[in-house]
Structure 1
Amino acid sequence: MQPSEKRKSQLAAFDRLLTIMDELREQCPWDQKQTMESLRHLTIEETFELSDAILGRDLEEVKKELGDILLHIVFYAKMGDEKDAFDIGQVIQQLNEKLIRRHPHIYGDAVAEDEEAVKQNWEKIKLKEKGNQSVLGGVPRSLPALIKAMRIQEKARGVGFDWENKYQVWEKVEEEMKEFKETLDAMDTGLPDKEAATAEFGDLLFSLINYARYVEVNPEEALERTNRKFIHRFQYLEEAAKDAGKSLADMSLAEMDVYWEAAKKKG
């Protein structure tokens, strides 16, 4: 298929989707009832399902979940059109203009020779556009804490506020680890201060996320992979114990550890 024919096919598919959305909104009781507020939690769920598909490297599932999210985008645009606020064409046009505006090294005279320069240009232009008084003003307050920490650090880096090298970052990790341990040691001597321990643990986590970012490891993805690995191994432990006629609740930690080690060998 020639590129021009492929583009015609893509546009025809999108046009059909818009027609189907119009028909569903007019004729389907469920679709008629939906509001932006009622759809919101479903959109969040679909986003997590896409994330699962990406982590599972299941491209067929990724395709399916992208379709579900696209449906939600078209749905929101349809509702906006009904309120005479915006339509899907305006949504796309605004996006087009933003992409052109934020890529002056492609559509203007700016120079960006590497990824880091592109990120810095993006953050500077974004800050100017939104009129935020703070570089961090665009970080959503409702983001999960781990992802929020990543975005805070990325935005600070975007304006040049960052460590010079990874060794400095790791020194900060070790410093925070020491402070956290000192707080715990103080609690062991009979001076409990859970507020201080919580604060120090937060500092430690923030520094670890910072180091992961610096060495180009996505901490959210890393933690989720570990979560999945633990679930896989623990479920093996459960099944192995069941096959042996045992209950985890009645087994000693040493007995469970035998199955756990077997699970680790299996991956």
Structure 2
Amino acid sequence: MTNFIAKNQALDSPNLKELLSVVAMLRHPEFGCPWDLKQSIKSLVPHTLEEVHEVVDAIEKNDMAGLRDELGDLLFQIVFYAQLASEEAFFNFDDVAKGLIQKLVRRHPHVFPGGEVDNFGAPQQISSDQVVVNWEKIKEEERRGRTDKEISDAGSGESVLGDVPTAVPAFERARKLQQKAASVGFDWDDPKFVLAKLREELSELEEAYSNGLEVDEARVKEELGDVLFTCVNFARHLRISSELALRSANQKFDSRFRFMENELQRLNIGFKDVSSADLNKLWNKSKQSGS
């Protein structure tokens, strides 16, 4: 079963080899691209984040042609990182691919019994929930198997939260922290308790905002953070992505606001020429229109 591969996926793609060569050429000290030559692993980070967001945007728009293009841009980032690391003799693209293969096989014992690719194809009875449980157990075993130097270099110590990255978006890091804490039993038993906690945090935020004549910005910021953290926790309990929920709300606002713009343009009126009450009526009209 080791020769199984998805239809239309080349086993030995000449395009991938050429891609690696092209990126190496871009970094050629004499004939390469000045912009690419200036880049470092750290300087690429904002570009990588931008490409990830563009991939998500193409998916949400169901734009398959755009997705193919954006995935190419994201792949370029990965190959670029590997090229930079190779120049410093840290690792190369082949090392990245090899490590990924080993990790995927190791973390999917229900697909590759005994951790061997050659064992693919053996029937396994396992639920998706059990897959998640096993996945976390395997990751924990991997964490425990790391050398003291690896742990020290990563700055993770022995904490259960040690392998939660700090650079991920705040909503996602909150979810990961909560999930890790839950894995050792520190969690709410029922979403209704999280909702009660959210009401408590909202009350504290309101108190911080209305406490005296001058707003204590530091305290408001702290309480607002607690509200957002609890919102993420509530979403996690309901198995809802808080990031996707907020993206959906953003899109809804975008659509309704554009509806208002179109209505005002049709009447040849600007926002500043309309009262707050009439703007609210127009907003409600946009909601009723299904925008």
1:171 corresponds to which residue? 196
1:156 touches 1:162 (CA, 8 Å); kept in 2? yes
Q: Name the structure with the higher helix share.
A: 1
2:143 to 121, 127, 136: 127
CA gap 1:252/1:29 in 2 versus in 1, 3 angstroms: same
Is 1:29 matched with 2:52?
no
1:90 to 75, 86, 95: 95
2:264 touches 2:270 (CA, 8 Å); kept in 1? yes
Q: For the aligned residues, what is the CA RMSD?
A: 2.9
1:15 corresponds to which residue? 17
1:68-121: CA deviation from partner (whole Å, max 9, x where unpaired): 111111122122222222111111112222233334454466997524413431
Q: Give the TM-score normalised by the residue count of structure 2.
A: 0.77
Is 1:162 matched with 2:192?
no
2:249 corresponds to which residue? 226
CA gap 1:156/1:112 in 2 versus in 1, 3 angstroms: farther
1:127 touches 1:135 (CA, 8 Å); kept in 2? no
Q: Give the length in aligned residue pairs.
A: 264
Most deviating of 124-133 and 79-88: 124-133
Q: Percent identity?
A: 32
1:39 to 44, 50, 63: 44
Most deviating of 22-31 and 105-114: 105-114
2:107 touches 2:135 (CA, 8 Å); kept in 1? no
CA gap 1:128/1:108 in 2 versus in 1, 3 angstroms: farther
2:133 to 90, 95, 117: 117
1:102 touches 1:125 (CA, 8 Å); kept in 2? no
CA gap 1:247/1:82 in 2 versus in 1, 3 angstroms: same
CA positional deviation for 1:223: 0.7
Most deviating of 84-93 and 150-159: 150-159
Whole-Å Cα distance in 1 between the matches of residues 9 and 61 of structure 2?
29
Whole-Å Cα distance in 1 between the matches of residues 20 and 174 of structure 2?
38
Kindly report which structure 2 residues correspond to 1:1-267, keeping only aligned pairs within 5 A, or say none. Answer: 3=5, 6-8=8-10, 11-26=13-28, 27-30=31-34, 31-107=36-112, 113=127, 114-130=130-146, 131=151, 132-184=157-209, 187=211, 190=213, 192-264=215-287, 265-267=289-291
Letter in 2 for 1:118: N
Whole-Å Cα distance in 2 between the matches of residues 4 and 216 of structure 1?
30
Whole-Å Cα distance in 2 between the matches of residues 157 and 122 of structure 1?
16
Most deviating of 131-140 and 41-50: 131-140
2:198 touches 2:230 (CA, 8 Å); kept in 1? yes
Whole-Å Cα distance in 2 between the matches of residues 104 and 218 of structure 1?
27
1:180-210: CA deviation from partner (whole Å, max 9, x where unpaired): 344445x2x6585444333333222211210
CA gap 1:54/1:20 in 2 versus in 1, 3 angstroms: same
CA gap 1:252/1:107 in 2 versus in 1, 3 angstroms: same
Letter in 2 for 1:255: D
Secondary structure of 2:236's aligned partner: helix
CA positional deviation for 1:216: 1.0
Letter in 2 for 1:261: N
Letter in 2 for 1:73: I
CA gap 1:171/1:8 in 2 versus in 1, 3 angstroms: same
2:52 touches 2:74 (CA, 8 Å); kept in 1? yes
